[in-house]
Amino acid sequence: MASLPEYPIGVFDSGVGGLTVVHALRRQLPRENIYYFGDTARVPYGVKSEETIARFATQIVEFLLEKRVKILIVACNTMAAVASQVIRGLSSVPVLDVIESGARGAALETRSRRVGVIGTLATVASGAYDQAIRRYDASIQIRSRACPLFVPLVEEGWLDHVVTRITAEEYLRPLCREAIDTLVLGCTHYPLLKPLLREVVGADVRLVDSAEAIARQTAELLEAEQLANPQTGVPDYHFFVTDVPQRFQEVGGRFLGRALENVHIVQM
């Protein structure tokens, strides 16, 4: 059956990090209903094998399609990097992912055609950003770096902490030496580090936040498919998670920028 404009947008991630995408969607598309799925029992995905990540992604997509979402947004860079084909093969509705959006953003932003990409181990090892950016412009040179310590630092709330700063300097120094003019924040957690990262890389380097980029692309897609929700009431937000860990509300609230309500536990 065809999707209707009032159906929700389905957004999913390995945990709470994808709430940065919900936050950007809420600003860009305040009328849209959103169903979010975060696999909080099995996060992090960034250190797991491709087979496992693809299996988990399949379960999540099947769950959200049963809830009749009108489009799917892969908010997790790691799932987008290694399971994009599996997800698209399963989906009966349009799929957007943060890697496509971030890559497009980088290609538009760079002047020198020297782009840095940071992400989880799985994302960087997959080379997915390199391929996606080169599809826009094959002449762009890309330098990537996995920054696995950023995820736990952000979850800890150390957004402007000396340990995070030293870690960022260590990770980013080699990229800065390559004279990049654009840095893609290729992980759900990194937008929260934007102010600190900006200081570390300097004002001349543009930061591409894939959460903002995908929110813009979602607005374009809904317009093109005539699926934008015309209703003006308070939109419906539901958060489906596989576990409610300690500090979930606090960490989730930090990502979303407001308190989390309508949280449902799902067994998987």
Taking CB under 6 A as the criterion, the residue among 20, 33, 40, 78 binding ligand DGL is 78
Taking CB under 6 A as the criterion, the residue among 33, 188, 217, 218 binding ligand DGL is 188
Residues 6 or more apart whose CB falls under 8 angstroms from that of 149 comprise: 167, 171
User: Is residue 84 part of the contact set for ligand DGL (CB under 6 A)?
Assistant: no
Residues 189-228 that bind ligand DGL (CB under 6 A): 189
Taking CB under 6 A as the criterion, the residue among 33, 84, 120, 167 binding ligand DGL is 120
CA 182 – CA 141 distance, rounded (Å) = 11
Q: In the sheet where 114-119 sits, what is the strand order?
A: 141-146, 114-119, 182-186, 206-209
Taking CB under 6 A as the criterion, the residue among 10, 44, 191, 252 binding ligand DGL is 44
User: Is residue 110 part of the contact set for ligand DGL (CB under 6 A)?
Assistant: no
147 near 118, Cβ under 8 Å?
A: yes
Binding flags for ligand DGL, 130-169, as an x/- string (CB under 6 A):
---------------------x------------------
Write down how long the chain is: 268
Minimum CB distance to ligand DGL smaller for 113 or for 247: 247
Q: Which stretch binds ligand DGL (CB under 6 A): 12-20, 128-136, 232-240, 246-254?
A: 12-20
CA 152 – CA 156 distance, rounded (Å) = 6
Q: Which stretch binds ligand DGL (CB under 6 A): 62-70, 72-80, 201-209, 226-234?
A: 72-80
Q: Which helix (H) or strand (E) holds 126?
A: helix 121-126
Tell me which residues are annotated as active site.
76, 187
Q: Name the DSSP letter for residue 205.
A: S
The most distant pair of C-alpha atoms in the chain lies apart, rounded to whole Å, by: 53
| Burial bucket for residue 189 (CB in 10 Å: 0-12, 13-18, 19+) | buried
Q: Which stretch binds ligand DGL (CB under 6 A): 41-49, 64-72, 127-135, 212-220?
A: 41-49
Size of residue set near ligand DGL by CB under 6 A: 18
Torsion angles phi and psi, residue 173, rounded to 5: -55, -50
How many alpha carbons fall within 13 Å on the CB side of residue 34? 30
Minimum CB distance to ligand DGL smaller for 207 or for 227: 207
Q: Which residues bind ligand DGL (CB under 6 A)?
A: 13-15, 17, 43-46, 76-78, 119-120, 123, 151, 187-189
